[in-house]
Structure 1
Amino acid sequence: MVSVKYVPSDMLINYVSGKLKEEKKIKEPNWVKFVKTGVSKEKPPLQDDWIYVRAASMLRKLYINGYLGISRMSSEYGGKVDRGSKRYHAASGSRSITRFLFHELESAGLVQKTQKGRSLSPQGMSLLDNASKEIIKQLAQKDPLYEKFI
């Protein structure tokens, strides 16, 4: 069985974000073009579809870690605060973006709320498993070393 852990993360995230975008599982709000993704950032993201990429990345992190809450997930997307010549301080990412995406993924049926935080639902697991199978098939056509995963 092919797991998400065997697939290159950039290929998986791009594939899943494309699926989320074409199936319109996430409603893109009007503030997406203007919002920064955290205190440590100076400008908004350059990609037009960054919200789908972030949602796919969150699904992958939930698959690997099992369950995560809003604070822990936002700290995964944090960075260094630029304080000039002083030492840096770590800052977490935007919790409102994380909260919004969790709500959208819950309404799409890909994430469920548990006692310990959010975790993947069976539909979310199957989405990521099917995506990793497709990517491994594509990689096996280019490189025969990946055929052992099929």
Structure 2
Amino acid sequence: MAKAYDVPADILLSRLADILKSENIGKPEWAMFVKTGSHADRPPQNREWWYIRCASILRKLYLHGPVGINDLRIMYGGAKSVGYGGAHHRDAGGSIIRHAIQELEKLGYVEKVAGKGRVVSHQGMKKLDRLASDILDELAVKNPMLKIYS
């Protein structure tokens, strides 16, 4: 069985975002108007960015968990220009990450570990692994050399 780190992240995230959208993960009303952090100049241009961010957070928790909100803020942060000097790192907004994690907890894909942060639950791990296996099987049809990994 393939794991989430065995398949390309862009394919996994787009498929996982479609699954989360079909499972009616909650999208806040303010999601269309908010920037993702102080480093961003404008709100995201992709209308489905909320589902992609939720899928990305789930994948990051799978790969790096247990992870706290502040760690995720650092991961999703970026560089902000400060005049003539070099750019400085700014953390991403915490509200987006908190709301996404709360919605993933409602679906049962994420659980809290006391004092350490959040991890992917057994149900979430199973969903990611099955999706990764399906993607790897589809990629193996195009490239037969990948069959050894499935």
Scaled by the length of structure 1, what TM-score is found? 0.96
Match for 1:43: what amino acid?
R
Secondary structure of the 1:67 match is coil
Per the alignment, residue 99 of structure 2 pairs with 100
Per the alignment, residue 121 of structure 1 pairs with 121
C-alpha separation in 2, matches of 1:51 and 1:82 = 25
Q: Please provide the CA RMSD for this pair.
A: 0.8
Dislocated runs of 4+, deviation >6 Å: none
Structure 1, unpaired ranges of 5+: none
C-alpha separation in 2, matches of 1:86 and 1:18 = 41
Match for 1:57: what amino acid?
S
C-alpha separation in 1, matches of 2:102 and 2:23 = 17
Per the alignment, residue 2 of structure 1 pairs with 2
Per the alignment, residue 46 of structure 1 pairs with 45
C-alpha separation in 2, matches of 1:32 and 1:21 = 14
Per the alignment, residue 33 of structure 2 pairs with 34
Matched residues, number = 149
C-alpha separation in 2, matches of 1:11 and 1:148 = 20
C-alpha separation in 1, matches of 2:145 and 2:73 = 36
Q: How far did 1:84 drift?
A: 2.0
Secondary structure of the 1:14 match is helix
C-alpha separation in 2, matches of 1:108 and 1:82 = 38
C-alpha separation in 2, matches of 1:85 and 1:145 = 51
What do the CA deviations read for 1:55-91 (whole angstroms, capped 9, x no partner)? 1111111111121000001111000012121121111
Match for 1:70: what amino acid?
I
Per the alignment, residue 131 of structure 1 pairs with 131
Identity fraction in percent: 40
Match for 2:98: what amino acid?
R
